[in-house]
Every structure is written in structure tokens, then in C-alpha cells.
Amino acid sequence: MKIEDVRAKAFAMPLTNPSFPRPPYRFYNREYIVITYRTDPDALRAVVPEPLEITDNVVKYEFIRMPDSTGFGDYTETGQVIPVSYNGDHGGYVHSMYLDDDAPIAGGRELWGFPKKLANPKISHEGEVLVATLDCRSIRCATATMGYKHQIADKDAVHKSLLAPNYMLKIIPHVDGGPRILELVRYYLEDIQVKGAWTGPAALELFQHVSVDVAKLPVLEVISASHFIADLTLGMGEVVHDYLA
């Protein structure tokens, strides 16, 4: 393969058979369970990078069921998002993500810098309770329960919350082991249609695990919980800060 052919064809690895297709990526009937909880402020300060600023001592723990996503298929994801501000704009810092599908792990890490790792999250409906769990092989790392559709939530408010910017660190190592790319990336969700939204009582437990370290942001108090279903498109990212510049 000639150099000009490599340049023309290269999109993602492997060169001749990438792990994921080119964007855009549209998600249908994305089901969210989001539990907002208060945590240790010192623990937050230890993980949120400058120039992001912490706005409150809270974390949003998300479980997301994605049964129909173009390019990525059918999978489930979970993780922690920390409310932050950047130059006065309020959004969320994506601190951790765990999921059960190779294509969105590779695509998320390589394109945007999503902090994705392989694990086994699940969402199930058990009678009057929503049950969400995160396992790393045989070890339970998180358990969330929420009352099923106790109260209808304001769909407009949910829609507005999904429009907020999201931030993450994109880290690509150099061949010498140091960072080749170290950037703060911002992205937005687009073309959002909230199909239903509810609130209810919830509980959340996080357990210590060396590889899935969600418990490093401990649950001190559950503040609120939301359950909603939406169609949306995952917008592409932009670099807002280059740590190596």
C-alpha cells in the first residue's frame, strides 16, 4: 500500500479493518438511570483536572441502556459524571465509563477520549423497582435501585440538561511511553428527543475494586434520581485546552 493510499484510507485501527465505522452515531430509545449523590469534596478535588472548576460536591452516577445505536450496536454503559464549569459554562466532566461492547470502547477512546473500560453493567426491571448493576467479571462494583416511574418528570428540564457541554481528557501515549496527545475535549449531544422522564426514590452502593474504582468517590447522601428515555446523536468533539502546548 502506497503512502498516499495509507493517508487516504487511515481512519482508525486496524488500518484495513477499523474497530468502528465513521460517525455520525445516532442512538434510539436510550434508557438512562441517573442517581445524583453527595460525595467527599477532597475526593473530587483529587480527580477533576484544571482548568475545570468543581461547582458542587456531587456526582451523577449514570446507567445507560443502548439497545439501538448506529455503528455501535446493542450495549449497556455506566459511569460517573462530575458537574463542573469551564470559563463560566456549566457542564459535566466524564470521570469514568464502563461498558460491555468493543466498538464503542475503541471508538469512544480514540475519537473523543472517553475514559472507557471493559466491564459488565446491566439494567433490569424487577417488578416495581429498576435495578442497575456493575460487575467486573465475578466482582460486584456498583448496585443501584430506583422506584419505577413514581412521578412524571419535566421533559423540557431533562432536555435542557442534556444540552449542557461535556468534558473529558483525551490521552494518547507516544511510542516512548509519554503522552503524545493530552487534551481537554468538549462535546455536545445533538438532535435530542426526550420520549419520557420520571423521578422516584433511589439507593446506590459502590464497592471497592482495584480496576473499577467507582468507590473512590464515595456515596455520602443520595440527592435525587431520574429515569428517562431519549433519541439523540453523539456530537463530535472540539479541543478546548492542550496540556502539552
Q: What is the pLDDT of residues 62-119, one digit of tens each?
A: 999 999 999 999 999 999 999 999 999 999 999 999 999 999 999 999 999 999 999 9
Q: Is 170 annotated in the active site?
A: no
Structure confidence at residue 180 (pLDDT): 97
Which residues, 6 or more positions from 10, have their beta carbon under 8 angstroms from its beta carbon?
none
Alpha-carbon dihedral sign for residues 50, 53, 56, 60:
negative
Exactly one of 9, 116, 122, 160 is catalytic; which is it?
116
Structure confidence at residue 21 (pLDDT): 95
Q: Name which of 164, 130, 162 is nearest 147 in CA terms.
A: 130
What residue ranges of the chain have pLDDT lower than 50?
none
In a domain, 5, yes or no: no
In a domain, 103, yes or no: yes
Q: What angle do CA 34, 38, 39 make, to 5 degrees?
A: 115
Domain of 200, CATH number, reads: 2.40.400.10
Torsions phi, psi of 184, nearest 5?
-90, 120
In a domain, 14, yes or no: no
In a domain, 3, yes or no: no
In a domain, 28, yes or no: yes
Domain count, the chain: 1
DSSP 120-186: EEEEEEETTEEEEEEEETTEEEEEEEEETT-EE--HHHHHHHHTS-EEEEEEEE-TTSSEEEEEEEE
Q: Which residues pair with 93 in a beta bridge?
A: 82, 167
In a domain, 9, yes or no: no
Residue 224, domain extent = 21-242
Alpha-carbon dihedral sign for residues 106, 111, 117, 119:
negative
> pTM score, two decimals?
0.96
